[in-house]
Amino acid sequence: MKVILKEDVKKLGNMGQVVDVSDGYARNYLVPRGLAVEASTKNIKSLEHEKRMIIEKAKKIRNSAQELADRISQMNLVIKAKAGEEGKLFGSVTSMDISELLKKEGIEVDKKKIFIDEQIKRLGTYSVNIKFHPGVSTQLNIQVVEE
């Protein structure tokens, strides 16, 4: 069955592409979730208009993600945590803590988009990667100080 993708689908194709998939995959997964529509003659004719709309929507999303990434890359966050001897923290700083701290600064970032390379278990300065959109990511500098 030929379908027109309304959004990017991993390992299948990009927004606006016409792809050939099995009937069951289209009927049970893609169409009910709004990821694709059947590629009938009527839908193919309206594809060009939808492509322009989809491209504009993708540009807006990417631009807003880039603006947010630029704004966050300029920030230096300070996290206060209880620490014992030699600067070792009681517990660790998680992506949820960072997300809540960003929320206090007025920036909504899902904790699943925050990637910490190494566990933050000591006082010091760390760099955390945040991925907003495919191709748009930034580094956030975090300083962990004793409470």
Task: Please state whether 110 falls in left (phi above 0), alpha (psi between -120 and 50) or beta.
Answer: beta
With beta carbons less than 8 A apart as the criterion, state whether 68 and 140 touch.
no
Domain residue spans of the chain: 2-68, 70-146
Radius of gyration of the CA atoms of the chain, in A? 21
Nearest to 109 by CA among 82, 136, 81: 136
The reported pLDDT for the residue numbered 32 is 93
> Which CATH entry fits the domain spanning 2-68: 3.40.50.720, 3.40.50.300, 3.40.50.150, 3.40.5.10?
3.40.5.10
pLDDT digits (tens, 9 = 90+) for 121-130: 889 899 999 9
- Residue spans of the chain under pLDDT 70: none
**Model pLDDT, residue 21:** 92
- The closest of 21, 6, 7, 143 to 81, measured between CA atoms, is 143
Decide if 1 contacts 20 (C-beta within 8 A). yes
pLDDT at 29: 92
Domain 70-146 has CATH 2.60.120.380: no
